[in-house]
Structure 1
């Protein structure tokens, strides 16, 4: 089990002492939602037309940097496998379904966590 950083815990206790009971209950509810989202993170299996270069976790979303095949039969770049990109894609769960979203070449400045999944 991971130990809690004492400085972080001290700051949390100081801040908690300044909050109302309702605010603390709301914070607990939000933390429980975060834990539920982590538990339902999608297990992403790469498609045949893609090659995963890198994978990161941001909140409820799994980000993958992928090289992709365009699917055009005469594409010279794709003859030996996925060769376009790499591009970032975001994956998340909505109920039993895994959803995905194209993010782009760079994730810097992208509003990654939008759209928020519906529960």
Structure 2
């Protein structure tokens, strides 16, 4: 809906751990950028956050003090399916990207439609 209402860049901040989503991370924002005809910034934390109190995750496993390793690897994807190299999995970083926003219009003109995902 963002791009359908004129967004040219969508930021997707995330705090997710390796076992949960890392296998799809390299393509997740690329797919969104292509489907929405706009740049998509995939942003994820790095490191591990520890808590004083133990907690359970409702997965039947023993109580623990952290969620797991946040794998970073932030990147920017273009509406043409291109993407920047990812940042580090273990260190904070800054990614500076030059985006040609005309590419959004060029891709949109070529494809002539945007994919709408519905949740039922």
Q: How does the TM-score come out when normalised to structure 2?
A: 0.28
Higher relative contact order (CA 8 A, sep 6+): 2
Structure 1 length normalisation: TM-score?
0.28
Higher strand share: 1
